[in-house]
């Protein structure tokens, strides 16, 4: 007996998806052991994703009609290429749906968006301990940028630098 493949569907998120997006972010934060850092509210997401100047876009992935994952992305810019790029901030597939092909479908949808928008590259970061994700990314052809390290300013350090006056 052959089991039918699940029906996979990728769609752009709408403002009505805000509670779902926040729930998926919460699940991702739990998986990444970063629950303490996930403080975004529905209102934050509504304003930043669907307000007058959206900061990012979201794709919702469904398996057999059930919301099963998401990808949140935005554009950056490469001065060397003279083109914008597509940056994937978050990719998450709920545990019950891993292995369904949804992750690859989400990545392919993002690649199509990058090509259609004439992006010079498509990139993202992954936690160094997340071996399943790294293996997945290598299988789809991604190359690690090991010579680069991420740098970040936030909280007090960000505000202190912003308050610095140049003499």
Render pLDDT for 40-68 as a digit per residue (tens, 0 to 9): 999 999 999 999 999 999 999 999 999 99
Residue 2 lies in a domain: no
For the chain, percent helix, then strand, then coil, each to nearest 5?
Answer: 40, 25, 40
Rounded distance between C-alpha atoms, residue 18 and residue 60, angstroms: 11
- At residue 80, the 3 state secondary structure works out as coil
For residue 81, the tally of other CB atoms under 10 A from its CB is: 11
Backbone angles phi, psi at 126, to 5 degrees: -140, 140
CA 5 to chain centre: 25
Long-range contacts of 133-142 (CB under 8 A, 24+ apart): 136/103, 136/104, 140/104, 140/107
Q: What is the pLDDT of residue 35?
A: 97
Span 86-118, pLDDT tens digits: 999 999 999 999 999 999 999 999 999 999 999
Residue 117 lies in a domain: yes
Residue 52 lies in a domain: yes
Question: In total, how many domains does the chain have?
Answer: 1
pLDDT higher than 90, residue 5: no
Residue 45 lies in a domain: yes
Residue 167 lies in a domain: no
Rounded distance between C-alpha atoms, residue 70 and residue 4, angstroms: 23
Domain range for 35 is: 8-162
Residue 142 lies in a domain: yes
CATH number of the domain where residue 111 is located = 3.40.630.30
């Amino acid at each position: 007996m052959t089991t039918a493949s699940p029906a996979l569907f990728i769609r752009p998120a709408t403002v009505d998806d805000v509670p779902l997006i926040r729930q998926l972010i919460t699940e991702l934060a739990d998986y990444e052991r970063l629950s303490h850092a996930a403080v975004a509210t529905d209102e934050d997401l509504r304003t930043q994703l669907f307000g007058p100047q959206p900061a990012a876009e979201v794709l919702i992935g469904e398996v057999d009609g059930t919301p099963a994952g998401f990808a949140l992305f935005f554009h950056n810019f490469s001065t060397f290429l003279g083109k914008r790029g597509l940056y994937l901030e978050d990719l998450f597939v709920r545990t019950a749906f891993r292995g369904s092909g949804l992750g690859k479908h989400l990545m392919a949808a993002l690649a199509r968006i990058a090509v259609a928008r004439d992006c010079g590259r498509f990139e993202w970061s992954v936690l160094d301990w997340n071996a399943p994700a790294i293996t997945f990314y290598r299988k789809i052809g991604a190359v690690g940028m090991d010579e680069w390290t991420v740098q970040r300013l936030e909280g007090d350090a960000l505000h202190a630098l912003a308050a610095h006056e140049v003499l």
